[in-house]
Amino acid sequence: MKFSCYLVFTITLLLVVTGCTSKEKQDVDINNAEIIFGKWDLDYQGAVGDTYPINLIFISKISDGLEVDSIKFPNHSNLKVDSIELKQGDLMDDGRTLYNLTLNTTAVESGEYSTKNIDVSFKNGISKSYAIGNLHWDISKSKPSEELVPDKGYVAMYPNLEKYTINLVNYSKYDMEIKGIITDNQNLKLTDILVNGENISESGHISPGQHAEINAKITTDDQQYQFYSISPRVIYTMHDETKESILPASIYGLMSITSETVKKMIESK
Which pLDDT score is estimated for 18?
Answer: 32
The fold of the 35-141 domain, in CATH, is Immunoglobulin-like (2.60.40)
Q: Which residues pair with 149 in a beta bridge?
A: 169
Query: β-pairing, 68-72 with 111-122?
Result: antiparallel
- Residue 147 reports pLDDT greater than 90: no
3-class DSSP assignment, residue 226: coil
- Give the contacts of 152 (CB within 8 A, at least 6 positions apart): 167
Which pLDDT score is estimated for 204?
Answer: 85
Q: Where in the chain is the domain with CATH 2.60.40.10?
A: 148-252
Q: Are 142 and 89 in contact (CB under 8 A)?
A: no
Express each pLDDT in 152-163 by its tens digit: 766 678 888 889
Q: Where in the chain is the domain with CATH 2.60.40.740?
A: 35-141
The fold of the 148-252 domain, in CATH, is Immunoglobulin-like (2.60.40)
The backbone torsions φ and ψ at residue 208, rounded to the nearest 5 degrees and listed phi first, read: -55, 130
pLDDT band at 75 (very low <50, low <70, confident <90, very high): confident
pLDDT band at 27 (very low <50, low <70, confident <90, very high): low
Express each pLDDT in 162-189 by its tens digit: 899 999 999 999 999 999 999 999 889 9
Cα separation, 251 vs 229, whole angstroms:
5
Which pLDDT score is estimated for 160?
Answer: 85
Cα separation, 206 vs 168, whole angstroms:
10
Which pLDDT score is estimated for 267?
Answer: 85
